[in-house]
Structure 1
């Protein structure tokens, strides 16, 4: 009898253990089902929020860094499709359009959740005024010409270009202007750019400086300061190691 009771007890424990394992498997299965369903619902909600709801639509534009170019010009160029889903707006196209503005050196466009597009601009820095006869624009150190308000052009040296001056020549002229120290710059009325290798400084008192190219501009400026003490109408510092006057 005792042996039978022991056998029954072992069988009962085995059945209970089996039942517990079955319940654990069912619970694990339900956990997977519930977890998977929740993940699908969450994904669906995210897709709806990003692509279809009004919660994440573009409503405004934040502009950073523009001074030479006013807000209206940037917004007109950007053509941000307000009202569209923020996630679907083509940031690269906006960036390309804003970059087409001559005064813009670089631009970064990003989403500012939940409702804005951020446009961060780095503008060109004017170092001279380019006189094209009927039109006056600003010039940066890389020789790029761009429109700028009068307040940004005031006090900057003038650059005039000859008929034979191409983009490379303009870049050389800008490099010469950038290299002029304050003492020399104060004497200059305007810089004339004829070709890459023929750049002239017209001084305020009527004297002429043959500068040559932008190479060794710092040396040329130092030599010129010494030469200006000599009476002459023309100073040639195109070869700073062998300057001449006449």
Structure 2
């Protein structure tokens, strides 16, 4: 055995950690404290839920209306039918929106609940694109073809629409796609059928439009044709337009 080997000392055995023994059960005071905390949390949660859902503490105090122009806020509030004091969390936004949308002039509405007690209604009113004249006045028609209001005097700048049923749908489809410069010259849009739309322009000019298909292209072709002399402009086939 070498001297180097002889000098090595045996490594000491690793020390064993003393066992801690079985865990002590929590004291009675600790158990009671934990139970008391759990009960208090449950009471707070229950009180909060009851306050939010079943009491007027966070109830509706105000209904705000935004976006109305032709309508009044009172009309919208009446249609919404939200009872003052109703818990804010229990206000059904879908049902409120459906009631407000039932108003003829309303295109859409957004319902928001704002703490502590405000319901905010943001209304989008319908915009007229034309007028249908009747014995009871001027019927305003929007971009969907809906007759939504009757007024004694129509707004300035709207063309008169002479059509009904599917033909009216085609007429509205043409009007809503016309460039603003051309639309300002249109006095009357008429049709006996969806494929027989005609425009009456200022200075006694007539445009035979045909169907609502390819309206942007027809408008571009008509813009060129109107530089020529004539009284009848036919763009029903934009590939073969004519002037007479």
Report the TM-score when normalising by structure 2: 0.78
Q: For residue 77 of structure 1, what is the aligned residue in structure 2?
A: 79
User: Does structure 1 retain, via aligned residues, the 8 Å contact 2:138–2:151?
Assistant: no
Q: Which of the numbers 17, 23, 46 marks the counterpart of 1:44?
A: 46
Residues 129 and 136, structure 1, Cα contact 8 Å, conserved in 2? no
Query: Do the aligned residues in 2 keep the contact of 1:112 with 1:118 (CA within 8 Å)?
Result: yes
1:186 & 1:62 partners in 2: Cα distance?
A: 37
Residue 122 of structure 2 is matched in structure 1 by 120
Equivalent in the alignment of 2:11:
none
- Report the count of equivalent residues: 224
Contact persistence 2:105–2:126 (CA under 8 A): yes
Residue 95 of structure 1: which of 94, 97, 116 is its match?
Answer: 97
Residue deviations 1:103-134 (CA, integer Å, cap 9, x gap) = 222222232222222212233333x2322323
Cα distance per residue 1:72-96 (max 9 Å; x no partner): 2211211111132323333322111
**Whole-Å separation in 1 of the counterparts to 2:205 and 2:58:** 65
Cα 1:150–1:82 change in 2 (3 A) is farther
| Structure 2 counterpart of 1:175, from 151, 173, 176 | 173
Q: Deviations over 1:16-69 (max 9, x none)?
A: x99x934x3434422331122112211221133124433122121011222232
Following the alignment from structure 1 to structure 2, what is the Cα–Cα distance between the partners of residues 161 and 25?
A: 90
**Corresponding residue for 2:160?**
159
Give the match's secondary structure for 1:154: coil
Find the partner of 1:201 among 180, 199, 202: 199
* Runs of 4+ more than 6 Å apart: 148-151
3-state SS of paired residue (1:189): strand
SS in structure 1 of the partner of residue 171 of structure 2: helix
Q: Which moved further from structure 2: 235-244 or 45-54?
A: 45-54
Name 1:10's counterpart in structure 2: none
Structure 2 distance, partners of 1:225, 1:86, is 56
SS in 2 for 1:21: coil
Deviation at 1:98, TM superposition (A): 0.4
Structure 1 residues 216-231: aligned runs within 5 Å:
216-231=214-229
Structure 2 residues without counterparts, runs of 5 or longer? 1-19
Deviation of the 1:209 alpha carbon: 0.9
Q: Distance in 1 between matches of 2:42 and 2:227?
A: 85
Aligned residues: CA RMSD: 2.8
| Greater share of residues in helix | 1
Q: Is 1:214 matched with 2:209?
A: no
Equivalent pair of 2:162/2:188 in contact (CA under 8 Å): no
